Amino acid sequence: MSESADAGIQVAAWSMLGTPAAASLMARIGADLLVLDAQHGLYDDAGLIAAIPAASAVPVHVRVPENNAALIGRALDAGATGIIVPMVQNVAEAIAAAAAARYPPLGERSWGPLAAYRGESTTPPDEANESVSCAVMVETSRALADVDAIASAPGVDMVFVGPFDLAIALGRSVPDLLADHSPGNPLDAVVAACRRAGTRAGAFAGSLEAARALSERGFTTLAVAVDTQLISAAGTTLVDAARGIRTSGRPA
């Protein structure tokens, strides 16, 4: 489901905690979509099967653990409307990811949606092919070198940047990567490749400050609200504020 880079900012929520309750809560904070993280988060196969229906208030995408056709198909069988595939290194790997996300004749996905086991209707293959979103992650110098071909690979709807891994791979810090406006810098190179291909450019931001910086570069899908960060930040703020409440001075 290709989307132009001019389609506007799409704000993603991100869940790491691996439970239907966490997914359901994150699906209701007003984001445009929810990503369940099965690579670095706590979502395993059983967790995804339980959490995806619970989060149906918004489109649910899954970051799969690796570029593996069985894992991609399983996430989509569980009801995800999109996948994010990490550590895609070249155009061949991008094409393989996209093929795993679609049924023939557009791809190689095997039929077996789990909705049937819940007594729900299933989406016909042609409709599933049309509606699914396949994002591939550019996180290394090897991927950057092939980013034009990756962005224009058949079936790739979005190139998604992981700033942490990309910064590590380039021997830089994330703030340095975000602040780099030199000619041909990595972030601008990704956006330029996506614009030439008519593919969406996305990134994990994790904070409002990073989201602003990435948006100014031209990234149009931004993951901002992460459940683990929200609990820690809001909880710390509330506890600190509560410690500052003055007592009435009356004995308990």
Q: Is 61 a catalytic residue?
A: no
Q: Cis bond leading into 53, ω under 30°?
A: no
**Burial tier of 250 (Cβ tally within 10 Å: 0-12, 13-18, 19+):** exposed
Which of the following is catalytic: 7, 8, 40, 209?
40
Query: How far is 78 from 157, CA to CA, in rounded Å?
Result: 20
| Residue among 46, 71, 49, 44 at smallest CA distance from 60 | 49
Tokens 């969406």: give the residue: 200
**Burial tier of 11 (Cβ tally within 10 Å: 0-12, 13-18, 19+):** middle
Residue type, 82: G
- The residues carrying an active-site annotation are 40
